């Protein structure tokens, strides 16, 4: 199902949470709403769900080109998963998943046998087939998250909305679960929107990323494009570590943003190229596949560089040495933004 | 036990104190009561507790207490719900008023209720009082009496010296228990559960019955149990509103006091023992209900 929202604004008093948001999501897409806290991403998700109402004067929320702005949350046929899951504590896993089926009006309610079958299918899908009788308090965070997802899927929603789905989990489980979510999405093809503040998560999992800042969408594009062609300094900075160079722009005064891995370290001046500068190795941090090298330039600014471990070994860098460094690529911006 | 982390130092001391405290204040007096009743021979004991006047008083006590507890169960829940979920003018004042029955000497409450519900009281004789008032106002303006006396005589509440009046005061003394036990649970309630249920298509009635109520049930059941226990032991307010006719409108505690007035201590104790035994039984059942409603909290 396609989702389209036009000119959505939302404010609490004088506090503008969302400002004139437009967004179109194709059927079967997996889209990430990425942004720092306070950027409005959760509010946008809740407006799409129908949990929150957009301000007067906002445009419509369209599901498959039908305006659902006035359709109640319970009738929008969305599956919503909360950051802290909101599983019903007094119901076991089976009853949690069956809740939406049992809550249907009598005419549409499936029979007990059908409910059992459906719940069992979902339990297998979330790989918790033998945990039907457990209560939420007896499950790990990752298991609860999957139960919450199965509960939302049980009523066959037209769209799946996930609010910081992996926010409360530890790093390993996070990585595992997000890949699982991607595979799940590839199996069931339900249009999915998830909110996250983790750029790695957004880039790895989604088909398209909407980067949000201060109630606006700064860029809406596939992950590779967002990363390689950031539409604004904000997007560039939010998507990873960066170095900022003033006054080095090719088109006059400006600033250049450079990723640490886009800086190349050389031992000798000749191979470094004409724009190379000198830097003193002030710190070396080992990080597995990459080594983080901190350079101190002549004007006492710090430059973060990431080199692969093999390259680092070839260079045989030591603290206190002076080396040449050059920028591989850089993103230039005029001096019209606040750093 | 010694290997687990202690928040309060000195388990032997605190446990010892707890046991001593419970023994001195609860178990010892109860034992003394049983012992006093035990001074009677078994046939004598049975003769006392099967006396029709006594059985009638026990029946009245438990019937009125159960009814009052059930009324409080329903309305206490509604009061707690309204105080937590809605904001209305003077909400905090109403919230404070809930505790009145805790603080007010129950005899005062009994007297007040009795006066209100007497034939000449404001509520007991509502119709005739209204006629009087209207006619007095009409008299002030110079007109004659507007309403013939006796016009609203049907609008009275029957004198409640019987079970009705007793139940009313027992509802009064038990009200805070249900409200005050349910309120904190509702305050801590996370609205996300409701939103989740709504997003799954559940209707408000379903959400209350299947999502909200099971969460507040344990607290609610203990509140009802407390209100019930309080009602069984209530004496001061009831004797002021009840007609106290032996065998008809006399509660068990009054039976006990009557025996004490006649220096029949053993007989008084015997009735006390029966009163306690039945209360204990009922409270055990309620406790069982409560732990059943908490079964999901037992984690493996």
- Measure the CA–CA gap between B136 and B159, rounded to whole angstroms: 25
**8 Å CB contact of B201 and A92:** no
Task: Sort out which chain A residues have CB atoms less than 8 A from B205's CB and list them.
Answer: none
Which pLDDT belongs to residue A316?
A: 87
- Measure the CA–CA gap between A138 and A91, rounded to whole angstroms: 12
Task: Sort out which chain A residues have CB atoms less than 8 A from B290's CB and list them.
Answer: none
How do the domains of chain A map onto residue ranges?
3-238, 251-334
pTM for this structure? 0.79
Which pLDDT belongs to residue B300?
A: 43
B-chain residue closest to A86, CA distance:
B193
Which residues of B sit within 8 Å Cβ distance of A?
Answer: 190, 192-193, 195-203, 206, 210-211, 214-215, 296-297, 299-300
Cα of first residue to Cα of last residue in chain B, in angstroms, is 19
Which pLDDT belongs to residue B159?
A: 58
Which pLDDT belongs to residue B66?
A: 95
**8 Å CB contact of A138 and B299:** yes
Q: Which of A119-123, A267-271, B114-118, B249-253 ranks highest by mean pLDDT? A: A119-123
A-chain residue closest to B294, CA distance:
A90
**8 Å CB contact of B190 and A138:** no
Confidence of residue A86 (pLDDT cuts 50, 70, 90): very high
How do the domains of chain B map onto residue ranges?
38-103+159-294, 119-158
Which pLDDT belongs to residue B1?
A: 45
Render pLDDT for A196-250 as a digit per residue (tens, 0 to 9): 999 999 999 999 999 999 999 999 999 999 998 898 889 998 998 888 887 644 5
B-chain residue closest to A92, CA distance:
B296
CA distance A218 to chain B (A): 29
Token output for A329: 């690529």
Determine how β-strand A208-213 pairs with β-strand A191-196.
Answer: unpaired
Which of A73, A137, A154 lies at the smallest CB-CB distance from B198?
A73
**Whether pLDDT at A155 is above 50:** yes
Which of A74, A80, A88 lies at the smallest CB-CB distance from B211?
A88
Render pLDDT for A2-43 as a digit per residue (tens, 0 to 9): 999 999 999 998 899 999 999 999 999 999 999 999 899 999
Task: Sort out which chain A residues have CB atoms less than 8 A from B192's CB and list them.
Answer: 82, 84, 86
Q: What is the pLDDT along chain B (300 residues), one digit of tens a residue?
A: 445 566 666 778 888 888 998 898 888 988 888 888 888 888 988 998 899 999 999 999 999 999 999 999 999 999 999 999 998 889 999 999 999 888 888 889 888 888 887 777 777 777 788 888 888 888 888 777 777 777 777 776 665 567 888 898 999 999 999 999 999 999 999 999 999 999 999 999 999 999 999 999 999 999 999 999 999 999 988 888 888 888 888 899 998 998 999 988 888 999 999 999 999 998 899 888 888 888 776 554
> Across residues A93-106, what is the average pLDDT?
94
- Measure the CA–CA gap between B115 and B120, rounded to whole angstroms: 8
Q: Please provide the CATH number assigned to the domain covering A251-334.
A: 2.40.50.140
Q: How many Cα atoms within 13 Å fall on the side-chain side of residue B69?
A: 24
**8 Å CB contact of A151 and B200:** yes
Is B38-103+159-294 in CATH node 1.10.3720.10? yes
Confidence of residue A339 (pLDDT cuts 50, 70, 90): very low
**Per-position DSSP letters for chain B, written without gaps between them:** -TTS--SSS-HHHHHHHHHHHHIIIIIHHHHHHHHHHTTS-HHHHHHHHT-HHHHHHHHHHHHHHHHHHHHHHHHHHHHHHHHHH---TTHHHHHHHTTHHHHS-HHHHHHHHHHHHSTTSTTTTHHHHHHHHHHHHHHHTT---SS-TTTTTTS-PPP-SSHHHHHHHHHHHHHHHHHHHHHHHHHH--HHHHHHHHHTT--HHHIIIIIIHHHHHHHHHHHHHHHHHHHHH--HHHHHHS---TTTS--HHHHHHHHHHTT-HHHHHHHHHHHHHHHHHHHHHHHHHHHHHTGGG---
Which pLDDT belongs to residue A249?
A: 45
Please list, in sequence order, all residues whose beta carbon lies within 8 angstroms of the beta carbon of residue B241, skipping any fewer than 6 positions away: B110, B113, B114, B117, B160, B161, B165, B166, B168, B169
Pick one of 3.55.50.30, 3.40.50.300, 3.30.565.10, 3.40.50.720 as the CATH number of A3-238.
Answer: 3.40.50.300
Which of A74, A90, A134 lies at the smallest CB-CB distance from B215?
A90
Confidence of residue A326 (pLDDT cuts 50, 70, 90): confident
Which pLDDT belongs to residue A62?
A: 94
CA distance B105 to chain A (A): 40
- Do the beta carbons of residue A239 and residue A199 sit within 8 Å? yes
**8 Å CB contact of A51 and B195:** yes
Which of B192, B211, B214 lies at the smallest CB-CB distance from A82?
B192
């Amino acid at each position: 199902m396609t989702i389209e929202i036009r000119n959505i604004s939302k404010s609490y008093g004088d506090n503008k949470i969302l400002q004139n948001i437009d967004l179109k999501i194709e059927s079967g897409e997996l889209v990430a709403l990425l942004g720092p806290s306070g950027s409005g991403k959760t509010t946008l998700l809740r407006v799409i769900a129908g949990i929150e109402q957009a301000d007067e004067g906002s445009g419509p929320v369209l599901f498959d080109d039908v305006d659902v702005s006035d359709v109640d949350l319970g009738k929008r046929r969305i599956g919503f998963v909360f950051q802290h899951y909101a599983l019903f504590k007094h119901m076991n896993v089976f009853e949690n998943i069956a809740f939406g089926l049992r809550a249907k009006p009598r005419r549409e309610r499936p029979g007990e046998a059908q409910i059992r079958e459906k719940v069992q299918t979902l339990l297998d899908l979330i790989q918790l087939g033998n945990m039907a009788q457990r209560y939420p308090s007896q499950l790990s965070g990752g298991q609860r998250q999957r139960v919450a997802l199965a509960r939302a899927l049980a009523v066959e929603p037209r769209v799946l909305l996930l609010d910081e789905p992996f926010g409360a989990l530890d790093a390993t489980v996070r990585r595992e679960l997000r890949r699982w979510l991607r595979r799940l999405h590839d199996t069931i093809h339900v249009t999915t929107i998830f909110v996250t503040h983790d750029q790695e998560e957004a880039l790895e999992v989604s088909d398209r990323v909407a980067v949000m800042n201060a109630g606006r969408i700064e860029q809406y594009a596939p992950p590779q494009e967002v990363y390689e062609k950031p539409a604004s300094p904000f997007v560039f900075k939010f998507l990873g570590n960066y170095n900022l160079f003033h006054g080095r722009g090719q088109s006059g005064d400006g600033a250049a943003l450079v990723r640490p891995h886009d800086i190349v370290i050389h031992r000798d001046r000749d191979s470094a190229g004409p724009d190379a500068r000198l830097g003193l190795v002030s710190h070396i941090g080992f990080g597995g596949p990459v080594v983080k090298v901190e350079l101190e330039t002549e004007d006492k600014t710090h430059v973060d560089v990431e080199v692969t471990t093999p390259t680092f070994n070839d260079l045989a860098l030591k603290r206190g040495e002076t080396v040449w460094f050059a920028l591989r690529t850089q993103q230039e911006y005029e001096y019209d933004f606040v750093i | 036990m010694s290997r687990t982390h202690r928040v309060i130092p000195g388990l032997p001391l605190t446990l010892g104190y707890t046991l001593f405290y419970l023994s001195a204040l609860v178990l010892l007096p109860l034992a003394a009561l049983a012992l006093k009743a035990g001074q009677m021979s078994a046939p004598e004991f049975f003769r006392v507790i099967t006396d029709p006047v006594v059985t009638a008083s026990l029946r009245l006590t438990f019937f009125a207490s159960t009814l009052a507890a059930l009324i409080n169960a329903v309305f206490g829940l509604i009061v707690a719900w309204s105080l937590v979920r809605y904001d209305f003018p003077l909400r905090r004042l109403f919230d404070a008023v809930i505790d009145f029955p805790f603080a007010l000497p129950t005899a005062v409450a009994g007297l007040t209720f009795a006066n209100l519900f007497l034939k000449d009281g404001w509520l007991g004789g509502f119709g005739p009082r209204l006629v009087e008032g209207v006619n007095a106002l009409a008299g002030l303006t110079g007109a004659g009496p507007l309403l013939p006396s006796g016009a609203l005589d049907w609008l009275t509440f029957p004198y409640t010296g019987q079970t009705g009046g007793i139940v009313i005061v027992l509802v009064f003394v038990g009200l805070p228990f249900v409200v005050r036990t349910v309120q904190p649970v509702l305050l801590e309630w996370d609205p996300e559960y409701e939103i989740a249920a709504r997003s799954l298509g559940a209707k408000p009635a379903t959400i209350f019955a299947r999502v909200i109520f099971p969460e507040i049930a344990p607290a609610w059941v203990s509140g009802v149990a407390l209100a019930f226990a309080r009602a069984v032991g209530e004496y001061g307010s009831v004797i002021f509103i009840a007609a106290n006719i032996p065998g008809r409108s006399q509660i068990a505690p009054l039976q006990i006091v009557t025996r004490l007035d006649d220096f029949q201590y053993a007989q008084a104790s015997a009735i006390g023992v029966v009163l306690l035994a039945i209360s204990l039984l009922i409270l055990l059942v309620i406790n069982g209900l409560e732990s059943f409603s908490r079964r999901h909290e037992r984690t493996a």
